[in-house]
A and B are shown apart, each in its own frame.
Chain A
Amino acid sequence: MNKLISSFIVALMTGLCFFASAQSQQALRGTVTDETGLPISGATVRASNQQTTATDESGAFSIAVSTGDLLTITFMGYDTYTHAVTSFDPLSVALQPGSNMLEDVVVFGYGTVKKKDLTGAIQQVGSADLVRAQATNVTEALNGRVSGVLVTKTNNRPGTDMSIQIRGTNSFNFSNEPLYVIDGIPSYSGMRHLNAADIETIDILKDASSSAIYGSRGANGVVIITTKAANRAPGFQVEYSGNLSLKTPTRIPDMIGNLGNGLEYVDYKIALWRAKYGESSLGRTDFLTDDEKRRIKYGEYYDWLREVSGPSMSHQHHVNANGSTEKNSYAFGLGFNDDDGMVGNENFRRYTFSLGLEHRASDRFKVGMNSYLSLNKTNHGADDALLNAYFIPPVASPYDYEGNYAFEVQPTSSKINPFVQIENNRKITDATYVNMAGFASYKLIEGLILKSQLAMQLDNDLYGEWIGTYTQGKQGVNAPDAFRRESKNTNYVWDNTATYDKWFNDRHHLNFIGLFSMQQETHQGSQMRGIGMPFDSDWHAIESAEEITDVSSYYWESSMLSYMGRLNYSFQDKYLVTLTGRADGSSRLARGNRWGFMPSAAVAWRLSEETFMRGGLFNDLKLRLSWGKSGNNNIDYDVVFSRLDLSKYPIGGTGTNGYGLGGSKGNPDLRWEMTSEWNAGLDFAVWNNRLSGTVEVYDRTTDDLIFRQAVAGLNGYTSILRNIGSTGNRGVEFGLNSTNISRERFQWKTNAVFSLNRNRIKELYGTGADDLANRWFIGQPIRVIYDFESLGIWQEEEIDEARRYGQSPGHIKVKDQNDDGVLDERDYLVLGTPSPSWTFGLTNSFSYRNWDLSVFVYGRIGGLYNDDFTYMFTAWDNEHWNKLDVHYWTPENRSNEYPQIGAQSYHTQVLAKVPGTFVKIQNVTLGYTLPQHILTRIGGRGARVFATALNPFTFTDYKGPDPETIGENVYTQLSLFPMSFNLGVNFTF
Chain B
Amino acid sequence: MSVRKQLTRWLFLVGIVGGVFNGCSEKPQQVVELDLSCLMTHLDSMQSIIDTAKIGAVDGTFPQESADEFQSAIDELRTGISKAKAGYFVLPFETEAYCIAASKAISTFMNAYQTTLAPGTPAELQVFGIDGRGYIDFGESPAYGGSNRFTVEAWLKYDPGFFEFAIGDFIATFSHDGNGIKQGWMLNFMGSNLRTTLGMGPQQDRVLEWGAAFPTNYGQWNHIVAVYDESLSADQLKMYVNGEVFFTKTNDIRDDAGILQKYQPNTRNLKMWAFIEPEDNNRSMTGYIRKFRLWDTAKSQDDIKSLMTSEVSGSESNLICAWDFTEVPDNPEHIADKTGKFSAKIVGQHKWHKLIN
- Taking CB atoms and an 8 Å cut-off, the chain B residues in 277-298 that contact chain A are none
Number of A-B contacts defined by CB within 8 Å = 139
Say whether B166 faces chain A, with CB atoms less than 8 Å apart: yes
Q: How far is the CB of B4 from chain A (nearest CB, A)?
A: 6
Say whether A291 faces chain B, with CB atoms less than 8 Å apart: no
Say whether B302 faces chain A, with CB atoms less than 8 Å apart: no
Q: How far is the CB of B288 from chain A (nearest CB, A)?
A: 19
Say whether B118 faces chain A, with CB atoms less than 8 Å apart: no
Say whether A340 faces chain B, with CB atoms less than 8 Å apart: yes
Q: Do the beta carbons of B8 and A311 come within 8 Å of each other?
A: yes
Q: Once bound together, how far apart are the Cα atoms of A126 and B9, in whole Å?
A: 36
Say whether B112 faces chain A, with CB atoms less than 8 Å apart: no
Q: Do the beta carbons of B98 and A283 come within 8 Å of each other?
A: yes
Number of interface residues of A (CB under 8 A): 53
- Closest-by-CB residue of B relative to A283 is B97
Q: How far is the CB of A510 from chain B (nearest CB, A)?
A: 57
User: Chain A CB within 10 Å — which of B12, B248, B249 has the most?
Assistant: B12
- Taking CB atoms and an 8 Å cut-off, the chain A residues in 818-870 that contact chain B are 821-822, 824-825
Q: Do the beta carbons of B29 and A299 come within 8 Å of each other?
A: yes
Q: Do the beta carbons of B9 and A307 come within 8 Å of each other?
A: no
Q: Do the beta carbons of A297 and B191 come within 8 Å of each other?
A: no
Say whether B247 faces chain A, with CB atoms less than 8 Å apart: yes
Q: Do the beta carbons of A278 and B164 come within 8 Å of each other?
A: yes
- Taking CB atoms and an 8 Å cut-off, the chain A residues in 254-288 that contact chain B are 259-260, 263, 266, 270, 275-283, 287
Q: Which of B37-45, B50-58, B86-94, B147-155 contacts A (4 or more CB under 8 A)?
A: B86-94
- Closest-by-CB residue of A relative to B162 is A278
Contact of B211 among A296, A802, A806 (CB under 8 A): A806
Q: Once bound together, how far apart are the Cα atoms of A331 and B22, in whole Å?
A: 50
Q: Once bound together, how far apart are the Cα atoms of A981 and B16, in whole Å?
A: 11
Q: Do the beta carbons of B26 and A298 come within 8 Å of each other?
A: yes
* Chain B residues within an 8 Å CB radius of A822: 245, 247-248
Q: How far is the CB of B97 from chain A (nearest CB, A)?
A: 3
Q: How far is the CB of A321 from chain B (nearest CB, A)?
A: 29
Proximity string of chain B (193-206) to chain A, C-beta cutoff 8 Å, 1 when within and 0 when not: 10000000000000
Proximity string of chain A (761-782) to chain B, C-beta cutoff 8 Å, 1 when within and 0 when not: 0000000000001000000000
* Chain B residues within an 8 Å CB radius of A270: 93
Q: Once bound together, how far apart are the Cα atoms of A310 and B2, in whole Å?
A: 13
Q: How far is the CB of A468 from chain B (nearest CB, A)?
A: 18
Known: A276-B191, A298-B26, A299-B29. A803 touches B213 (CB 8 A): yes
Q: Do the beta carbons of B100 and A280 come within 8 Å of each other?
A: yes
Known: A283-B100, A302-B24, A904-B190. A278 touches B161 (CB 8 A): yes
User: Chain B CB within 10 Å — which of A281, A806, A906 has the most?
Assistant: A806
Q: Do the beta carbons of A906 and B193 come within 8 Å of each other?
A: yes
Q: Do the beta carbons of A303 and B23 come within 8 Å of each other?
A: yes
User: Chain A CB within 10 Å — which of B16, B28, B97, B245 has the most?
Assistant: B97
Q: Do the beta carbons of B245 and A879 come within 8 Å of each other?
A: no
Q: Once bound together, how far apart are the Cα atoms of A803 and B164, in whole Å?
A: 23
Proximity string of chain A (796-816) to chain B, C-beta cutoff 8 Å, 1 when within and 0 when not: 000000110111100100000
Contact of A299 among B27, B249, B250 (CB under 8 A): B27
User: Chain A CB within 10 Å — which of B29, B31, B165, B213 has the most?
Assistant: B213
- Closest-by-CB residue of A relative to B87 is A297
Q: How far is the CB of B30 from chain A (nearest CB, A)?
A: 9
* Chain B residues within an 8 Å CB radius of A279: 96, 100, 161
Contact of A300 among B24, B100, B248, B258 (CB under 8 A): B24
Q: How far is the CB of A410 from chain B (nearest CB, A)?
A: 16
Say whether A902 faces chain B, with CB atoms less than 8 Å apart: yes
Say whether A433 faces chain B, with CB atoms less than 8 Å apart: no
Say whether B101 faces chain A, with CB atoms less than 8 Å apart: yes
Q: Once bound together, how far apart are the Cα atoms of A282 and B8, in whole Å?
A: 43
Say whether B341 faces chain A, with CB atoms less than 8 Å apart: no
- Closest-by-CB residue of B relative to A293 is B90
Say whether A246 faces chain B, with CB atoms less than 8 Å apart: yes
Q: Do the beta carbons of B26 and A302 come within 8 Å of each other?
A: no
Known: A246-B8, A276-B191, A307-B23. A296 touches B29 (CB 8 A): yes
Q: How far is the CB of B167 from chain A (nearest CB, A)?
A: 10
* Chain A residues within an 8 Å CB radius of B166: 276-277, 879
* Chain B residues within an 8 Å CB radius of A902: 191
Known: A282-B100, A301-B25, A824-B248. A312 touches B8 (CB 8 A): yes
* Chain A residues within an 8 Å CB radius of B29: 263, 296-299
Say whether A248 faces chain B, with CB atoms less than 8 Å apart: yes
* Chain A residues within an 8 Å CB radius of B164: 277-278, 280-281
Known: A296-B29, A312-B5, A822-B245. A282 touches B191 (CB 8 A): no
Q: Do the beta carbons of A300 and B192 come within 8 Å of each other?
A: no
Say whether B85 faces chain A, with CB atoms less than 8 Å apart: no
Q: Once bound together, how far apart are the Cα atoms of A979 and B17, in whole Å?
A: 13
Q: Do the beta carbons of A802 and B250 come within 8 Å of each other?
A: no
Say whether A135 faces chain B, with CB atoms less than 8 Å apart: no
- Closest-by-CB residue of A relative to B4 is A313
Say whether B312 faces chain A, with CB atoms less than 8 Å apart: no
Say whether A745 faces chain B, with CB atoms less than 8 Å apart: no
Q: Once bound together, how far apart are the Cα atoms of A352 and B245, in whole Å?
A: 68
Q: Do the beta carbons of A260 and B213 come within 8 Å of each other?
A: no
Q: Once bound together, how far apart are the Cα atoms of A423 and B346, in whole Å?
A: 53
Q: Once bound together, how far apart are the Cα atoms of A444 and B86, in whole Å?
A: 102
* Chain B residues within an 8 Å CB radius of A251: none
Q: Do the beta carbons of B12 and A298 come within 8 Å of each other?
A: no
Q: Do the beta carbons of B5 and A310 come within 8 Å of each other?
A: yes
Q: How far is the CB of A269 from chain B (nearest CB, A)?
A: 9
* Chain B residues within an 8 Å CB radius of A905: 191
Q: How far is the CB of B307 from chain A (nearest CB, A)?
A: 22
* Chain A residues within an 8 Å CB radius of B191: 275-276, 902-905
Proximity string of chain B (129-163) to chain A, C-beta cutoff 8 Å, 1 when within and 0 when not: 00000000000000000000000000000000101
Q: Do the beta carbons of B212 and A806 come within 8 Å of each other?
A: yes
Q: How far is the CB of B103 from chain A (nearest CB, A)?
A: 8
Q: Once bound together, how far apart are the Cα atoms of A805 and B8, in whole Å?
A: 56
* Chain B residues within an 8 Å CB radius of A281: 164-165
Say whether A29 faces chain B, with CB atoms less than 8 Å apart: no
* Chain B residues within an 8 Å CB radius of A275: 191
- Taking CB atoms and an 8 Å cut-off, the chain A residues in 875-931 that contact chain B are 879, 902-906
Say whether A614 faces chain B, with CB atoms less than 8 Å apart: no
Q: Do the beta carbons of A806 and B247 come within 8 Å of each other?
A: yes
Say whether B11 faces chain A, with CB atoms less than 8 Å apart: yes
* Chain A residues within an 8 Å CB radius of B11: 246, 311
* Chain A residues within an 8 Å CB radius of B212: 805-807, 906
Say whether A364 faces chain B, with CB atoms less than 8 Å apart: no
Known: A278-B164, A299-B25. A266 touches B91 (CB 8 A): yes
Q: Once bound together, how far apart are the Cα atoms of A806 and B191, in whole Å?
A: 13
Q: Do the beta carbons of B9 and A311 come within 8 Å of each other?
A: yes
* Chain B residues within an 8 Å CB radius of A903: 191-192
Q: Once bound together, how far apart are the Cα atoms of A905 and B211, in whole Å?
A: 10
Q: Do the beta carbons of A307 and B97 come within 8 Å of each other?
A: no
Say whether A306 faces chain B, with CB atoms less than 8 Å apart: yes
Complex A-B: 28 CB contacts under 8 Å:
A246-B11, A248-B17, A260-B23, A266-B91, A266-B93, A275-B191, A276-B166, A278-B163, A281-B164, A282-B97, A283-B101, A297-B29, A297-B90, A298-B28, A301-B25, A307-B24, A340-B5, A803-B213, A805-B212, A806-B212, A807-B212, A822-B248, A824-B249, A824-B250, A825-B252, A903-B191, A906-B212, A981-B16
Other 7 A-B pairs with CB < 8 A, given A259-B22, A270-B93, A293-B94: A279-B161, A280-B101, A299-B25, A299-B26, A302-B24, A824-B235, A905-B191
Q: 8 closest A-B pairs (Cβ-Cβ)?
A: A806-B212, A904-B191, A283-B97, A311-B12, A299-B29, A303-B23, A808-B213, A282-B97
Residues of A within 8 A of B (CB): 246, 248, 259-260, 263, 266, 270, 275-283, 287, 293, 296-304, 306-307, 310-313, 340, 773, 802-803, 805-808, 811, 821-822, 824-825, 879, 902-906, 981
Residues of B within 8 A of A (CB): 4-5, 7-9, 11-12, 16-17, 21-29, 31, 90-91, 93-94, 96-98, 100-101, 104, 161, 163-166, 190-193, 210-213, 234-235, 245-250, 252, 258
